[in-house]
Each structure stands twice: as structure tokens, then as C-alpha cells.
Chain A
Amino acid sequence: LAKTTQPISMDSYEGQEVNITCSHNNIATNDYITWYQQFPSQGPRFIIQGYKTKVTNEVASLFIPADRKSSTLSLPRVSLSDTAVYYCLVGDPLYNQGGKLIFGQGTELSVKP
């Protein structure tokens, strides 16, 4: 599984757009990039997954450059409830890794009023 590197923490204010970048220089051809959100004392929750270019859902957008060595999770107009830890994971979901996940350190996002 490719190793990922994220900022340990980020601060933002309500209503701002937040971009969290993850580096994964050793990403393999079959690897997908998946982001999870975790609130204190809860299990992680899936946010978004992508392979290349851009993916958007009702919660966030994921930008992946052509070389796929990094990715950026974009949270539009954050609110206080978006305060959480965000994890970037890289792996091949078709190789029995959809469930077996290796978590990195994550990014602790703090949204202030």
C-alpha cells in the first residue's frame, strides 16, 4: 500500500473553502484514492473516492493531477460540524483492500466561528 503524507492540522473559519492535500508518491497503477472523515469517538466515514482528474459529490470534491502523486480534498463552505480528522488512503479496492485499510496520520481540521 502506498504511503501517504498529509498536514497534521489545519484551521479554517466557517464559510471558507478548505483544501487538504495528500502526497502519495508511490501510488500504483491500480490504486484508488479514498478520503475518510472521523469525528471524535466515532468510526471513520467515507467521503469520496477517485482515480484521476476530478470527482465531485454532495459533500466534497477530489482533485487528482495527471501524475497522481498527490490529491486534494476540497470542502466547500465549511461549517463548525466539519471539524474532524480527515484521512487520505491509497489502495487497490479490487485486491481485497476495500476493507483492509492502512491509515496514515490524518489531518485534524478545526473550523472556527
Chain B
Amino acid sequence: GAVVSQHPSRVICKSGTSVKIECRSLDFQATTMFWYRQFPKQSLMLMATSNEGSKATYEQGVEKDKFLINHASLTLSTLTVTSAHPEDSSFYICSGELNTEAFFGQGTRLTVV
């Protein structure tokens, strides 16, 4: 299957700072990527759809100015958590779509202290 890689796998940042998470499709081109968030003992929650060359589409309740998404190439989407706060601590997962099938990254554990 196709491979999606996220970086970093875990990050700790101070409250008020911004953090960027990268999602790369290693062996395929992904015009569309998806970002999810998962809190402990909960399911994945879709945050936004990242479209190459255009603006991301955010799910209801997700602040677009806080979670900046950039999809500048067919193999890279980035999620920037701006002015992070402890409540933003979570597991962030991206996925790329290939032939209608989803391939997930390994996730990024964000801890805001």
C-alpha cells in the first residue's frame, strides 16, 4: 500500500507558541489530504480537508485561524497549530487518498505545557 509519513512523531511546546506538523505522501501524489485529531480514549475526529493548490475545508467547530493548513505540493500538507494552549494537546493524524482508499500517517503527539 501507499505510505504516508508524518513529522514530528511527538512534540512538546510551550503555551502560546506555534507548532507545525508535516504530512508527506512518500510514493504517491495526494491532491487531497485529511487531518484528524484524537483525544485520549476517544475516536478520530475529522478536522479539515486539505486541497493542493487551494484553501482547506474545515469541519464545523474547527477554527481555521488556529489550525492553519497549507498544501503547497502534491506530496506535502502541513498543519500549524497557532498560539497553542494545553487544551490543544492531542494526537494529530493525517491521511492521503489514493484510488478512493485512505492511507494514514503514524500520527503526531502534541503536548502543550
CA distance A106 to B106 in the complex (A): 18
User: A46 in the interface, Cβ–Cβ < 8 Å?
Assistant: yes
For residues 26 through 55 of chain B, which have their beta carbon under 8 Å from a beta carbon of chain A? 32-34, 36, 43-46, 49
User: A54 in the interface, Cβ–Cβ < 8 Å?
Assistant: no
User: A102 in the interface, Cβ–Cβ < 8 Å?
Assistant: yes
Contact residues in A for B97 (Cβ distance below 8 Å): 98-100
A85–chain B nearest beta-carbon distance, Å: 8
Contact residues in B for A97 (Cβ distance below 8 Å): 100
Which of B13-21, B64-72, B78-86, B88-96 forms contacts with chain A? B88-96
Main secondary structure of the interface of A (DSSP, over half): loop
Contact A99 B106 (CB under 8 A): no
Q: Which residue of B lies closest to A98 (CB)?
A: B100
Number of interface residues of B (CB under 8 A): 27
User: A45 in the interface, Cβ–Cβ < 8 Å?
Assistant: yes
A112–chain B nearest beta-carbon distance, Å: 20
Contact A43 B95 (CB under 8 A): yes
Contact A99 B109 (CB under 8 A): no
Contact residues in B for A103 (Cβ distance below 8 Å): 36, 43-46
CA distance A98 to B2 in the complex (A): 14
Contact A43 B107 (CB under 8 A): yes
Contact B44 A44 (CB under 8 A): yes
Contact B43 A106 (CB under 8 A): yes
Question: Known pairs A43-B95, A100-B49, A103-B46. 20 more at Cβ < 8 A?
Answer: A41-B107, A43-B4, A43-B6, A43-B93, A44-B44, A44-B104, A45-B104, A46-B102, A46-B103, A97-B100, A99-B32, A99-B33, A99-B95, A99-B102, A100-B34, A100-B97, A101-B44, A101-B46, A102-B46, A104-B43
Pick 24 A–B contacts, CB within 8 A, sort by A. A41-B91, A43-B6, A43-B95, A43-B104, A43-B106, A43-B107, A44-B44, A44-B93, A46-B103, A87-B43, A87-B44, A93-B100, A97-B100, A98-B100, A98-B101, A99-B95, A99-B96, A100-B46, A100-B97, A101-B46, A103-B44, A103-B45, A103-B46, A106-B43
